Structure 1
């Protein structure tokens, strides 16, 4: 019996439940090939290479990553040069979007599928390194007869994943050879090389994507922390994590005592939850200090060495100090009015201003109540759109109504339709902006029709046959992570890419530093009538502290409701703690002080708590149940300064 027949028999036996010495990862993949993908081990598959027109669909979304990864791929290829390997970069669907190989062997490599545009998804090629890496999320070696398809028995393939800054699988690096030694252990060095290559690519991509943020890099070795770090995270001006390498995600998971595979998104969480360091301490981890003085402790007790790269500034400190005013001048008044100087908001609004006149579909992401529709209207008003702003909430209408609302209908299209028909919201938005709120709740059946509108720039009403040309700008919004819905099949991937030409993330109210400005603006927008005159409403110190300490799960919408209720309840034009019934209990718990004595001895009690916590701001904030930003605000307001921060 030849090698091919023996291999097919082994695959059939393993799928039938027979014991095997193969790795569990290989056995699981073989079973998926049959049970999930319907592949037949007796039927050999030819290599499938996409034409250039199809390949562009896979390359374009990864353009930035491909550009960043190219040097890493070339470096990897130089390390394996002369050993007949090719280097492939595949997207998360298994399509090779970049390739480096021996041009003298292109014919044989193309026939084996080791070329640009080849499909190495498990559903097509069976068990292979790229497909198994996508399925497991881990580095893998699929050596010779580990492959499901007997066509690939001569190949050895080693792959490792590249994760994007949000912790999602973005691409796979693979090195493959047409021939290799029989023992799988021969690929141990190849596995280490590919792992090291993906780590460097992730780090380079993180550094390029977050040049305006702090980048904190880590190593177990003080000698290598500056030159070859093992993990990294990006941190914004409020101390929130905005991006990580995969190793950085695992590191934070260990610190928090969580499994990285099931851990919710790190984005938006304070980095001090995982590290015993505050934002204002980051400068001590720059190269200004020797590496031996840059140790950092994780919350689980683990110690590493760190290197902090400061936010990029091309003209030194003065440029950094003047960046905010310059950015403010670049923002139209309609957008400028949405921020009171919060750095996260300002950066996002600068981007929104640049995109206001561009024909790019925008996706606004943020928690419920954070002001997505207000931002969409401001973008529309800031641009040169002469047409209307038309908004529809995809979650507020039943599926049958969404279709008729969006696309309209012709006379007699269905029972109960108006005799004259009805123009849809898409057509009404012609020349202006269509805002699709809660796009993540749009039924799958309508997503294909919306995709056609975006692609063809025309709409066909229900019951109609004649397309109507439309020229409009699409802004969509969601509080969901659409990428998760794409993975689960609840949202079309092609529509996701059409809608997310640019993504603007609106920070949650609890992470913004302009809460006081927002509060004052709401108070100035109305007042209590006294003798026919409009009198402004003020907020007592205790009430303001309670408002600033609140977590604001409902964001700005909740703030507006709380202020409006307090306006009605307050006496003599002053909002007191008793006028905040929803926050009163939380405020008392947060400060550990009775509401009646909060203003008088809050400072002494807070100082006592900080001393008890040895001035560990994170620990004190946890005990109070407040955000560290809120605690820093309170300390500044009452003049509390940690002993190690006091002037000598």
Structure 2
């Protein structure tokens, strides 16, 4: 951390000139300053603007009742520990609202002067770089001292914050200690982090106790002939009675949304509260059996574990049916689909639903391995096989996949010489490492995938016909995203769940998503959402965030295209090329600006200036 005078000079230089010496300041502070600059945060202000009071604040506390119930005893201990240190201790929720604020009366009074009070929203978008908002954004502990704050109102403060996560690793809030700069103690952040860990440990312990109590309560509740199931407070099914198990044998693979799709409807939902702490621990739900017209809906996927989003489109449901049919066999499989459709996810689903699921799943991208290394990568080699070989040899991918699944992605890129060698291995089911004499028996299933048309490659003489027929045992086609547009809302929700992004995508944006043809398929959709998440944070996105998300401008109306800053009609040819390269770099890195700058081999400060210039 730089001293106060230095950080003040760096701050002034950044605010006045937009340039920054990145070697003199914490990386996370730099990233935050650029986010604040891009979001239009006023660096000369920084007072709290949005403050919940009365019923709205009580409702916010109710929404975070579990966090408060678990964390308050630790907050009191921390406050007692910090007594006399001229500090204030805070607990903040996932949206950045201050739920509890304790501390010395004098310091609380000074905090009120900038509206740093209970109920205030203290995020980067509201008040600029600060320990609370930046910890929420990055999910990492951080210390922000003096002029490291983006807005001048907080330059007299030092804040130390650590994220708090629940038993499943989801971010639920932030613990923070703030004090005037002159009273900063270097051990404060360590104290905050250790207290946050203690809260997380208590959370995990409580969840275990709640689960045990829920199971004990369910013994009596499930003694009925009605279709009855017990769910935890997250609406995850934990146990069912005999009647339900007979009706839905694969119930453990399903959730409440699945049951509704199958036609099961809740007749009665009874909340269950803990006898220990009076908080909600689960639900006892009685179901009505589905009518005959809906009872068979999607039941063919009940026993299939799919590590992604299944959606509702008929074309992808057919793909799922094929996965389920072939997974239990030992046939080799050929997966065809455009780039970004999720061919590796399909391959993993086949492996996870097969008898080989406890064996290895080895992936080889044939297009990413130089031809000169392909043989040693696949077949391995023994000690001393060639100059530069490892001392103890190397086990090839074929042998690594023994008793499991070998996934050869982009099989169309495999060089001709290796096609001959691979054909022999598939026919004889044994491999001889380079420099070796002894054949190693192979018990593997081979799954191949490509975005090429292998039949066309065979006709062109670029792929062996005999190898084609060896691989083309059970073909599976993965539909493009434009063929399954009804799945886009489900894929968007899946992404939000995976990234713990608590926002609702507005209908107008969802409609734009559905209108777009997505040449990059699901990968492009997820990259677009990732960039939107970076730009918007926990705020709901709007249409203004759409134009810079895609290389194509199909999502914007003609008027929006002409008015967008940095539009192609206002740029020189050189600037257009620069903009396209930036967009491509961001797409390749999933929206990570630091990695994109490194990929383009330009300074990060230059990269951020160009982002601002082109309104990206």
Tell which has more relative contact order, 1 or 2 (C-alpha 8 A, sep 6+): 2
Q: TM-score, normalised by structure 2?
A: 0.42
Q: TM-score, normalised by structure 1?
A: 0.40
